[in-house]
């Protein structure tokens, strides 16, 4: 055993002597450098109190996925609009007065769930600078704006939220339009002003990511310098730059927060169609629209003076057509918020818009607007007022004929809005089952021009004499979609010559089915009757259907308009013949955009009485193809004042 132990010891010594490392000193293990703890950003405080809203497709929705349409009013914070209730930039007096007004409005029973808050330039103007224009940005003081955002606007917003109202902040003042400006322009001083304002607001700790507070990017852009160098409000070139102009502001806000953004249109916030092509990119984005009597073809007692409306109107249908043309393209992709609207009879001189409530589907402005908004299903809207004290003084006591006031006249907006907003908040009371279903204004048959549109108005009539518009709740079908298409809100679109039966079905609250039918004949797109042919598409003209004589105004245009888009892609050519010699430079023109100021395909008659249009080879003056599958305006241009006899229009 000892020999074995000695042998093992000798082997161990031998192995140890073979290792060079055995002679090196043992290196102690060096501990790793301790990591310096990083300062984690403090979690962002969540200030929101109301149900979280977000944009989903064309709707504003809550966290349950329910569609939400808001109804509210406006407040501005200049003493001029508030009975001079404070002076000398007295914040506490301003807060005290406006909080009292809010309390009075709530006590009066108004069912508001949002407010459009003007961050009024009264507070942010540096009055030592020279005056340039009304509510202009030229005197903006960032120091003053930051101060009163903290001291006035945010506390006021918090007060509204405490009363259950979301807040839509509007920047100080209005967009430049009149001299020394022609409008707005990408990179101009006004864009820099808006970028600065929203950079400040969107980083405010009580505003940033607070879903109770939303932003309306600007107030009433009128014209913008387009990519073609021309100022305007409807062209593709203008909307190409409008997208660039407002996208930069959206991007600035999105670098800080995710609050809902409402983007304005052009022409005082009445034109939006170009945004369907030049899309504003990002999430939680809708469009802020303005709507006054006379705009969009609506009824008005007096033109409101912006140059985009008139004192004439034809009741509901022209209003709906105008809305579909100017707002419809964006209402199809995003929610709409009407941030200015009012009306009252001219005699009161109490509102910007001069019109009456009227009847849905008939004459008047207010009821037709509500009908259009309700049918769209994604329109929030408000009472535009600068006089909160009137809302607080409202009494829900009916007036008497001959003794009405602005506040209790059913034809003025306060009485109508008070009760409509109450219905939105509390639901509509239905008095039993309907007695019958009506298609307003319809006979058993209707003729409709190919490319034209018509709107059905479906009314449920009850035994007690009351009635309710139910177009949006009814199911409407066409027996032949190749002849007549049916689109939402009862819109009939004439596609091709032929006949179709429209069936309207309404299911009552008790589950009973009610039905009406309408026979529709779609006729030629070039009907030469006074109810279809428009001699005054541009400048005032005349047309006699008996003699087929058109006389345009000076450099005027008369012809046909096709709100649904006229599809002639299935035809090869169109032959147009005159019945007299050309004495006024007549040309035949076809537009594939719903805008007279775009470039059409043009065919001059010259010394002949006949032009032949190759529908598959049409080009505008720039050589661009004019698409025959969607023509919106077709007709005759002339220097004016001379008769043009339209002999025939032949499609092959």
Contacts of 40 (CB under 8 A, 6+ apart): none
- The percentage of residues in the chain with a pLDDT greater than 70, rounded to a whole number, is 93
Distances (CA, A) of 409 to 344, 354, 402, 404, 573: 9, 14, 10, 5, 57
pLDDT at 635 over 50: yes
Distances (CA, A) of 257 to 195, 199, 204, 209, 252: 14, 10, 10, 5, 9
Q: What pLDDT is attached to residue 20?
A: 42
Per mean pLDDT, which range of 83-87, 207-211, 615-619 is the poorest? Answer: 83-87
Taking phi over 0 as left and psi of -120 to 50 as alpha, with beta for the rest, 177 belongs to: alpha
Confidence of residue 534 (pLDDT cuts 50, 70, 90): very high
Better pLDDT: 30 or 351: 351
Question: Is 321 in a helix, a strand, or coil?
Answer: helix
For 413-450, write each residue's pLDDT tens digit. 999 999 999 999 998 877 789 999 999 999 999 999 99
> What is the Cα 368 distance to its own chain's centre?
16
- The total of other beta-carbon atoms located within 10 Å of residue 45's CB is 10
Q: Which of 208, 202, 204, 196 is nearest to 172 (CA)?
A: 196
What is the C-alpha to C-alpha distance for residues 112 and 70, in angstroms, rounded to an integer? 8
For 228-262, write each residue's pLDDT tens digit. 999 999 999 999 999 999 999 999 999 999 999 99
Chain position carrying tokens 């019109």:
355
Q: What pLDDT is attached to residue 304?
A: 87
Q: Are 500 and 486 in contact (CB under 8 A)?
A: no
Q: What pLDDT is attached to residue 458?
A: 97
Q: What pLDDT is attached to residue 16?
A: 40
- Percent helix, strand and coil across the chain, each to the nearest 5: 25, 25, 50
In this structure, what token pair is assigned to residue 577?
A: 């013949």
pLDDT at 457 over 90: yes
Q: What pLDDT is attached to residue 432?
A: 84
What is the C-alpha to C-alpha distance for residues 382 and 115, in angstroms, rounded to an integer? 8
For 396-413, write each residue's pLDDT tens digit. 999 999 999 999 999 999
CATH number for the domain whose boundaries are 68-426: 3.20.20.80
Q: What pLDDT is attached to residue 34?
A: 53
For 330-340, write each residue's pLDDT tens digit. 999 999 999 99
Residues in the chain: 652
CA atoms within 13 A on the CB side of 572: 1
What is the C-alpha to C-alpha distance for residues 634 and 571, in angstroms, rounded to an integer? 15
What mean pLDDT is predicted for residues 287-291?
A: 99
Q: What pLDDT is attached to residue 33?
A: 57
What is the C-alpha to C-alpha distance for residues 369 and 494, in angstroms, rounded to an integer? 25
Better pLDDT: 4 or 296: 296
Contacts of 504 (CB under 8 A, 6+ apart): 437, 439, 456, 458, 474, 475, 476, 515, 516, 517, 518
Confidence of residue 41 (pLDDT cuts 50, 70, 90): low
For 260-283, write each residue's pLDDT tens digit. 999 999 999 999 999 999 999 999
pLDDT at 169 over 80: yes
Question: In the 3-class helix/strand/coil scheme, how is 480-492 assigned residue by residue?
Answer: CCCCEEEEHHHEE
Q: Considering the chain, what is the average pLDDT of its residues?
A: 92
The CA-CA-CA angle for residues 171, 174, 179, to 5°, reads 150
Give, for 145, the enclosing helix (H) or strand (E).
Answer: helix 142-148
For 568-584, write each residue's pLDDT tens digit. 999 999 999 999 999 99
Q: Which of 461, 531, 456, 536 is nearest to 488 (CA)?
A: 456
Per mean pLDDT, which range of 55-64, 67-76, 488-497 is the poorest? Answer: 488-497
Q: Are 564 and 451 in contact (CB under 8 A)?
A: yes
Task: Kindly report the backbone phi and psi dihedral angles of residue 190, in degrees, each rounded to the nearest multiple of 5, phi listed first.
Answer: -70, -40
Q: What pLDDT is attached to residue 37?
A: 54
What mean pLDDT is predicted for residues 375-393?
A: 94
pLDDT at 9 over 70: no
Per mean pLDDT, which range of 35-39, 94-98, 409-413, 581-585 is the poorest? Answer: 35-39
pLDDT at 303 over 90: no
Better pLDDT: 307 or 378: 378
| CATH architecture of the domain covering 534-651 | Sandwich (2.60)
Task: Kindly report the backbone phi and psi dihedral angles of residue 124, in degrees, each rounded to the nearest multiple of 5, phi listed first.
Answer: -105, -5
Q: Which of 72, 73, 104, 134 is nearest to 385 (CA)?
A: 73
What mean pLDDT is predicted for residues 348-366?
A: 95
Domain ranges within the chain, ordered by starting residue: 68-426, 434-523, 534-651
Listing from the earlier edge strand, what are the strands of the sheet with 467-469?
434-439, 458-462, 467-469
Q: What pLDDT is attached to residue 38?
A: 58
Q: What pTM value is reported for the model?
A: 0.88
What is the C-alpha to C-alpha distance for residues 201 and 196, in angstroms, rounded to an integer? 9
Confidence of residue 36 (pLDDT cuts 50, 70, 90): low
The helix-helix angle for 236-254 and 189-201 (nearest 10°) equals 30
* CA dihedral sign of residues 229, 234, 239, 242: positive
Chain position carrying tokens 């408000």:
382
> What is the Cα 138 distance to its own chain's centre?
28
Q: What fold does the segment set 434-523 form as a domain?
A: Immunoglobulin-like (2.60.40)
């Amino acid at each position: 055993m000892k020999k074995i132990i000695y042998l093992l010891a000798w082997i161990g010594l031998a192995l140890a002597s073979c290792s060079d490392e055995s002679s090196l000193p043992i290196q102690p293990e060096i501990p790793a450098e301790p990591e310096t703890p990083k300062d984690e950003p403090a979690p962002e405080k969540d200030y929101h109190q109301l149900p979280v809203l977000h944009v989903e497709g064309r709707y504003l929705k809550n966290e349950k996925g329910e569609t939400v349409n808001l109804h509210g009013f406006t407040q501005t914070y200049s003493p001029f609009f508030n009975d001079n209730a404070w002076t000398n930039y007295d914040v506490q007096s301003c807060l005290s007065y406006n909080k009292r007004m809010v309390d009075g409005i709530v006590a009066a029973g108004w069912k508001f769930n949002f407010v459009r808050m003007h961050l009024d330039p009264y507070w942010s103007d540096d009055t030592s600078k020279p005056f340039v224009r009304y509510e202009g940005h030229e005197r903006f003081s960032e120091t003053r704006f930051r101060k009163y955002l903290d001291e006035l606007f945010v506390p006021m917003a918090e007060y509204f939220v405490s009363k259950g109202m979301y807040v839509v902040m509007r920047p100080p003042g209005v967009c430049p339009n009149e001299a020394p400006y022609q409008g707005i322009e990408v990179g101009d001083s006004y864009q820099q002003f808006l970028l600065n304002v929203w950079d400040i607001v969107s980083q405010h700790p009580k505003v940033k990511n607070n879903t109770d507070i939303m932003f309306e990017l600007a107030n009433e852009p009128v014209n913008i310098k387009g990519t073609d160098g021309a100022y305007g409000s409807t062209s593709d070139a203008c909307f190409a730059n409008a997208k660039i102009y407002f996208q930069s502001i959206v991007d600035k806000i999105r670098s800080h927060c995710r609050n809902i953004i409402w983007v304005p249109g052009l022409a005082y916030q009445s034109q939006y169609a170009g945004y369907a092509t030049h899309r504003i990119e990002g999430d939680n984005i809708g469009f802020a629209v303005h709507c006054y009597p006379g705009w969009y073809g609506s009824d008005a007692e007096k033109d409101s003076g912006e140059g985009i409306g008139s004192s004439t109107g034809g009741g509901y249908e022209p209003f709906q057509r105008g809305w579909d043309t100017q707002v419809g393209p964006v209402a199809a992709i995003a929610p709409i918020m009407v941030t200015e609207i009012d009306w009252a009879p001219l005699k009161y001189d109490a509102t910007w818009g001069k019109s009456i409530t009227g009847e849905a589907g008939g004459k008047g402005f207010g009821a037709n607007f509500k009908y259009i908004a309700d049918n769209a299903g994604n329109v929030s809207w408000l009472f535009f007022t600068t006089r909160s004290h009137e809302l607080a003084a409202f009494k829900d006591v009916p007036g008497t004929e001959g003794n009405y006031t602005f506040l209790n006249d059913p034809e003025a907006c306060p009485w109508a809005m008070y009760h409509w907003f109450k219905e939105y908040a509390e639901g509509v009371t239905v008095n039993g089952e309907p007695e019958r279903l009506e298609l307003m204004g319809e006979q058993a048959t209707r003729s409709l021009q190919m490319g034209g549109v018509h709107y059905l108005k479906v009314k449920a009539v009850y035994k007690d004499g009351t009635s309710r518009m139910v177009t949006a709740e009814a199911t409407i079908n066409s027996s032949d979609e190749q002849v007549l298409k049916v689109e939402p809100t009862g819109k009939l679109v004439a596609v091709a010559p032929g006949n179709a039966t429209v069936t309207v079905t309404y299911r009552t609250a008790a589950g009973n089915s009610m039905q009406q039918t309408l026979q529709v004949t779609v006729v030629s797109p070039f009907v030469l009757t006074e109810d279809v042919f428009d001699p005054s598409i541009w400048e005032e003209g005349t047309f006699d259907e008996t003699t087929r004589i058109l006389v345009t105004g000076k450099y005027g245009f008369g012809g046909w308009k096709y709100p649904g888009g006229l599809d002639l892609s299935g035809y090869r050519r169109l032959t147009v013949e005159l019945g007299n010699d050309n004495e006024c430079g007549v040309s035949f023109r076809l537009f594939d955009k719903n805008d007279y100021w775009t470039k059409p395909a043009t065919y001059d008659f010259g010394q002949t009485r006949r032009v032949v249009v190759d529908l598959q080879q049409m080009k505008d003056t720039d050589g661009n193809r004019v698409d025959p599958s969607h023509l919106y305006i077709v007709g005759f241009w002339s220097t004016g004042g001379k008769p043009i006899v339209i002999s025939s229009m032949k499609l092959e």
